[in-house]
Structure 1
């Protein structure tokens, strides 16, 4: 298993995300930050499944196919994507930034008893 760096040539991930890694905050109950290998694999898969979008994944929900991504259109927004859904049905949520995503996953954990 590789490290979590978010240093990929295909996207410049925000410093706030890299700060979570440097602080050791990579596991968030039902959600977790993906390691570099999984990030690259999911990036390539998303390009195949949703060719009309450019999604850059960084986290995954462990109990279903939801993943958190940035999108080329606005790289500050966090998109919750239900991966493997039919194209056009994949979008679950759009959050304004990483801090809002952290609040969202805290709510997910409360709802799921984590």
Structure 2
């Protein structure tokens, strides 16, 4: 997969650049299974569609979504409100009224990845018990 082509058509906020740790991680083949999380870029047009959705719903925030939790409206987004090579990651419950969408944040992609790995381990353990 050509990672660069996955992001070429996305109209990112001025000055925003995906963090290096994110770009290096998504180049892994295959990507580690982080279910229930999945990366938006894996499906054509999904990154752009979620970016548009988040912009429309929360026009006062500058967010760049990159992953979604299955079976929910929760997405994780980079904070594009200011220049940063390692932006904060926000948990956003889309379709909630503005002001109610915030589900917390972590300091950067690496912190989110650590939490997502823990989520995936819990998800798999719960699946095995069923």
Q: Give the shorter-chain TM-score range.
A: 0.7 to 0.9
Unaligned runs of 5+ in 2: none
* DSSP 3-state at the match of 1:12: coil
TM-score normalised over the length of structure 1: 0.84
TM-score normalised over the length of structure 2: 0.75
Unaligned runs of 5+ in 1: none
Aligned length: 113
* Equivalent residue number for residue 107 of structure 1: 118
Give the number of the structure whose residues are more often helix, by fraction: 2
* Equivalent residue number for residue 97 of structure 2: 86
Instruction: Summarize deviations over 1:88-111 as a string: whole Å, max 9, x none.
Output: 010112101111101211232344
The 1:26/1:6 distance shift into structure 2, 3 A limit, reads: farther
Give the number of the structure whose residues are more often strand, by fraction: 1
Q: Which has the larger radius of gyration?
A: 2
Instruction: Summarize deviations over 1:11-51 as a string: whole Å, max 9, x none.
Output: 42112111112113264110011125111111111111001
